[in-house]
């Protein structure tokens, strides 16, 4: 007769539900049907239904007439091997766990008696219930605990394995860095006091040492008689008789530890099935430990990041001095590696020494700056680290020859462990941090890694602290320099008293005349005239406000005016006399025209004219940029104009110089904004766009005094008109002023020849002085007249500017035409001389030839000589040349010598055109 397995294999399976539709409604007794759920059919049993499973009564197999539940039950009791094979191959473990839990709830832990008389203890069910149902919760609890470490994880797993096999006790052994076993935990209290270390891993000693050596689990029921481990259990026990030892292996097959489970006398020995249970339980050790290590690493890194962030905030937000930064670094370093004391030594590269002023004494008054100590870089542990850049982790300082014991002898403090690390900045060692005596043991590799990251921030902090100290010292030097310069750049008390004693006239004749010559005023009297005009502007709107007259302080006005005069340099043109003339021109416009500027705008226009060229160096913006001037590095556009405004603000900030102190806060801000706008408008690079916009508005009849934008355009154009006031002055005065400004331009051209070998702008070339009339014609046509004409269109009272410029243009054109005729005549003479020389050469080389018409030679010569030269003026070219020249305006000479300073060297006008003058 074939075996039951073969019979079940060849049994014809009943048809699937639904084959006979008329049988669906047939009533069945629940007891008469056998329902198997969670079972997957074997392909050998039902090839055509291999992927279907029986889950419920709606999908169960139909009952065969000759197959009763009692028969199947008897068959399974008679064939337990078949049941074991069938369940292991076809029943999912989740289903087995459900069966086990259901049975455990009903019967508890009672043993089951089989028909063959064997006792089947419920260790597997117990393991399934205890481990499978709780293992995820146990692992989650362990891995989420911040205090979890390897010993605790393995201890919990060992206890769980011991419970799953009903062991009487268990021991956990771990492997240290020296590849030695040591007892990590034990469960039984009746054992003798064990030694912490079991020694090296080798066979023929104890059971855990043997298992750690072979890396295979061992089941033994005769501990005292097994020659593989004659010493028995790792922890000596008189009652242990049966044991299971399971190795804890890492993913790379490295040994982590050993779990030892044992039973005492009187207990049933361990079975192979229980060994399998322990193996299956402890296989989670590697996975769990890896997850715990990863979690701990992440948490450690997070804590380190939070720590470094706190360090960065604390250090960089409060960089007061180098000592403060050093104290913070030492405090944070001790917290990072849990050290008792810390030291920080800085490197002096010039003397090759280490030095320190802050010391950690361990007392309350620690970190107090003391006397600086220095020692060579080749001495001691810190010196070795500073010289070599090597990180030193010394577990016992007294066994290291580099350690200097004299410090301990002097202080009475005993140094045990040392962690010393260099601090880098830009690849160079700038200091050394030394940690002394870790509180809970010795410094580890993890401490080195954490402190290495911390050292990077230390380097940055020390570098910034040094920069801060340098900046602080530079700031103090700057304050001293400013104090010295302000003393010499401000008016002194003697000048103030002399000017104050001069009475300000109540009226100055002809001062509102456009032909008035400001250069005729003596330098000592110019400040009085400035005060007269400034006071008049302050008072011109007093009829609107009775308190208007009290809104200025005469003493402040005197100091301000004298200091402004003192801050103009002694250059040929852009000096104090030029500033006075421009201020007078603006005063004339304000007093004679029917404008609708606000009082604040009028005052801003006048003060801006007075200060528009403060500290001018007699050089153009283009020259300042080409020569890499520090001013050009500060101000990329309108270099000198920005400097003039900032210098104005500096003077106003001096004590006793704020002429606007009686204005409200809003008025003060507004007048500074207007002054800045007006001074920047004197840059001819901005003139063309401003004039074009104003001209377009005026031509369309859209100009309105109510519009702040329109008024600002008029203010900008007025500043240019006042800045060019010398171009509409009477001819004799205008010629002298042109000589002065050309001298300043030629001085710049001379410097350009020396520095770069050529003159960038031909008008500044002293060798091309004969082109002066042409350039003046171009300047008047391209810049001056367009500016004056749009002014007269908005303010008709300023028409004298246009008339004066037109009259001077006529004179310059006459000179230009005369210069052109002289140049043409000179060219004709040169051509005739050249032709004569050629004819003489022909006479010498060839025999004389008699010609019928002796005048042919003269005719040929006449044809070869150009009869005329085109000297038409290109206005745009002239405009461009003067635009590059920053401010191509005439200026006066010396600040202290005379009102109208004419160069000693005669210009082309005096040498070639005395008649026209």
- Known catalytic residues are 574
| Helix, strand, coil percentages, rounded to 5, for the chain | 55, 10, 35
Helical axes 708-723 vs 576-592, angle rounded to 10°: 130
Paired with 376 in beta bridges are: 353
Paired with 186 in beta bridges are: 171
C-alpha 452/C-alpha 423 separation (Å) is 9
Say whether 577 counts as a known binding-site residue.
yes
DSSP states of 455-466 as a string?
HHHHHHHHHHHH
Say whether 576 counts as a known binding-site residue.
yes
DSSP states of 177-244 as a string?
TTSEEEEEEE--SSSPPPPSEEEE--SSS-HHHHHHHHTS-EEES-GGG-TT-TT-SSS--SSEEEEE
Quote the DSSP letter at residue 766: G
Paired with 54 in beta bridges are: 39
Q: List the helix and strand counts (H, then E) for the chain.
A: 32, 16
CA dihedral 543, 547, 548, 554 (to 10 degrees): 130
Q: Which two tokens stand for residue 335?
A: 């917290």
| Count of Cβ atoms closer than 10 Å to residue 613 Cβ | 29
Say whether 612 counts as a known binding-site residue.
yes
- The answer to whether 491 and 655 have CB atoms below 8 angstroms apart is no
Residues near 282 by beta carbon (within 8 Å), at least 6 away in sequence: 157, 158, 161, 246, 248, 259
In whole angstroms, how far apart are CA 206 and each of 190, 233, 247, 776? 19, 6, 14, 113
Sheet with 240-249, side-by-side order of all strands: 197-200, 180-186, 169-175, 255-264, 240-249, 218-220
Say whether 367 counts as a known binding-site residue.
no
CB-based burial label for 226 (10 Å; 0-12, 13-18, 19+)? middle
Q: Name the nearest CA neighbour of 329 among 442, 454, 468.
A: 454
- The answer to whether 578 and 613 have CB atoms below 8 angstroms apart is yes
Residues near 645 by beta carbon (within 8 Å), at least 6 away in sequence: 611, 675, 676, 679, 680
C-alpha 648/C-alpha 664 separation (Å) is 19
CA dihedral 449, 453, 459, 461 (to 10 degrees): -140
- The answer to whether 797 and 804 have CB atoms below 8 angstroms apart is no
DSSP states of 661-677 as a string?
TTS-HHHHHHHHHHHHH
Phi (first) and psi of residue 20, to 5 degrees:
-110, 95
User: Does residue 52 sit in helix, strand or coil?
Assistant: coil
C-alpha 41/C-alpha 769 separation (Å) is 115
User: Does residue 18 sit in helix, strand or coil?
Assistant: coil
Say whether 776 counts as a known binding-site residue.
yes
Quote the DSSP letter at residue 770: G
Say whether 360 counts as a known binding-site residue.
no
C-alpha 900/C-alpha 519 separation (Å) is 6
567 alpha-carbon distance from chain centroid: 40
Quote the DSSP letter at residue 132: I
C-alpha 147/C-alpha 141 separation (Å) is 11
C-alpha 199/C-alpha 173 separation (Å) is 11
Paired with 117 in beta bridges are: none
Paired with 246 in beta bridges are: 259
> What radius of gyration do the chain's Cα atoms show?
53
Query: Could you tell me how many residues make up the chain?
Result: 917
Say whether 536 counts as a known binding-site residue.
no
Which residues sit in the known binding site for AMP? 574-578, 613, 723, 776
Give the residue ranges of the annotated binding site. 574-578, 612-613, 723, 776
Q: Which residues are annotated as a binding site for Zn(2+)?
A: 578, 612-613, 723
């Amino acid at each position: 007769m074939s075996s039951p397995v073969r019979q079940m294999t060849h049994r014809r399976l009943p048809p699937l539900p639904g084959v006979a539709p008329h049988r669906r409604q047939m009533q069945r007794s629940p007891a008469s049907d056998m329902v198997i759920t969670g079972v997957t059919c074997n392909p050998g049993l039902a090839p055509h239904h291999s992927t279907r499973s029986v889950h419920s009564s709606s999908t169960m197999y139909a009952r065969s007439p000759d197959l009763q539940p009692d028969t199947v039950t008897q068959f399974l009791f008679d064939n337990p091997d078949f049941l074991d094979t069938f369940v292991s191959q076809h029943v999912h473990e989740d289903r087995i766990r459900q069966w086990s839990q259901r049975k455990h709830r009903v019967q508890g832990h009672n043993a089951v008696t089989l028909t063959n008389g064997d006792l089947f203890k419920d260790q597997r069910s117990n393991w399934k219930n205890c481990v499978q149902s709780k293992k995820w919760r146990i692992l989650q609890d362990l891995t989420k605990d911040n205090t979890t470490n390897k010993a605790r994880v393995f201890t919990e797993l060992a206890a769980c394995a011991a419970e799953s096999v009903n062991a009487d006790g268990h021991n956990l052994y771990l492997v240290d860095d020296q590849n030695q076993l040591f007892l990590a935990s034990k469960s039984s209290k009746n054992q003798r006091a064990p030694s912490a270390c079991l020694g090296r891993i080798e066979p023929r000693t104890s059971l855990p040492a043997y298992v750690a050596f072979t890396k295979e689990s061992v089941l033994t029921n005769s501990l005292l008689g097994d020659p593989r481990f004659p010493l028995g259990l790792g922890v000596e026990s008189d009652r242990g008789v049966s044991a299971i030892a399971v190795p804890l292996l890492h993913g790379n097959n490295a040994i982590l530890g050993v779990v030892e489970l044992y039973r005492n006398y009187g207990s049933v020995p361990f079975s192979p099935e229980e060994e399998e249970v322990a193996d299956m339980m402890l296989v989670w050790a590697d996975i769990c430990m890896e997850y715990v290590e990863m979690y701990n690493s992440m948490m450690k890194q997070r804590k380190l990041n939070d720590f470094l962030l706190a360090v960065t905030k604390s250090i960089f937000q409060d960089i007061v001095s180098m000592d403060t930064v050093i104290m913070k670094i030492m405090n944070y370093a001790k917290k990072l590696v849990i050290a008792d004391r810390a030291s920080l030594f800085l490197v002096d590269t010039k003397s090759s020494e280490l030095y320190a002023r802050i010391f950690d004494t361990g007392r309350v008054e620690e970190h107090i700056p003391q006397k600086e100590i220095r020692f060579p870089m080749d001495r001691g542990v810190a010196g070795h680290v500073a010289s070599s850049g090597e990180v030193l982790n010394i577990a016992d300082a007294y066994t290291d020859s580099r350690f200097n014991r004299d410090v301990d002898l002097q202080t009475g403090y005993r140094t045990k462990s040392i962690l010393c690390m260099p601090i880098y900045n830009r690849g160079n060692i700038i200091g050394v941090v030394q940690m002394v005596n870790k509180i809970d043991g010795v410094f580890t590799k993890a401490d080195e890694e954490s402190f290495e990251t911390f050292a990077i921030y230390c380097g940055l902090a020390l570098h910034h602290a040094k920069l801060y100290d340098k900046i602080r010292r530079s700031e103090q030097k700057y304050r001293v320099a400013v104090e010295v310069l302000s003393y010499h750049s401000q008016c002194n008390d003697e000048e103030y008293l002399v000017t104050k004693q001069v009475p300000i006239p109540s009226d100055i004749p002809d001062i509102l005349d456009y032909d008035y010559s400001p250069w005729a005023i003596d330098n000592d009297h110019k400040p009085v005239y400035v005060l007269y005009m400034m006071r008049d502007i302050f008072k011109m709107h007093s009829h609107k406000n009775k308190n208007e007259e009290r809104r200025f302080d005469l003493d402040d006005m005197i100091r301000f005016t004298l200091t402004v005069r003192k801050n103009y340099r002694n250059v040929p043109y852009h000096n104090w006399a030029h500033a006075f003339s421009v201020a007078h021109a603006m005063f004339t416009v304000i007093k004679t025209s029917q404008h609708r500027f606000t009082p604040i705008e009028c005052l801003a226009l006048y003060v801006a004219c007075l200060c528009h060229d403060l500290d001018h160096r007699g050089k153009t913006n283009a020259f300042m940029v080409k020569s890499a001037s520090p001013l050009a590095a500060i101000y990329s556009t309108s270099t000198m104009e920005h400097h003039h405004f900032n210098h104005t603000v500096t003077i106003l900030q001096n004590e006793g110089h704020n002429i606007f102190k009686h204005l409200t806060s809003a008025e003060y801000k507004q007048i500074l904004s207007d002054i800045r706008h007006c001074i920047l408008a004197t840059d001819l690079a901005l003139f063309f766009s401003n004039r074009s916009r104003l001209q377009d508005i005026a031509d369309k009849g859209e100009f309105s005094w109510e519009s702040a934008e329109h008024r600002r355009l008029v203010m900008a154009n007025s500043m240019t008109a006042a800045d060019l006031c010398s171009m509409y002055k009477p001819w004799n005065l205008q010629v002298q002023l042109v000589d002065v400004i050309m001298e300043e331009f030629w001085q710049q051209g001379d410097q350009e020849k020396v520095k770069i070998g050529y003159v960038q702008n031909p008008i500044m070339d002293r060798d091309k002085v004969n082109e002066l009339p042409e350039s003046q014609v171009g300047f008047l046509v391209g810049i001056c007249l367009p500016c004056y004409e749009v002014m007269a269109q908005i303010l008709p009272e300023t028409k004298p500017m246009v008339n004066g410029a037109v009259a001077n243009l006529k004179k310059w054109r006459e000179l230009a035409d005369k210069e052109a005729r002289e140049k043409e005549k000179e060219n004709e003479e040169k051509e005739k001389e050249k032709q004569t020389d050629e004819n003489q050469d022909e006479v010498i080389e060839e025999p004389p030839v008699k010609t019928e018409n002796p005048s042919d030679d003269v005719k040929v010569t006449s044809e070869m000589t150009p009869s005329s030269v085109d000297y038409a003026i290109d206005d745009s070219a002239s405009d461009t040349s003067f635009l590059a020249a920053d401010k191509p305006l005439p200026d006066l000479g010396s600040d202290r010598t005379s009102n109208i300073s004419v160069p000693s060297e005669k210009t082309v006008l005096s040498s070639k055109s005395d008649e026209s003058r």
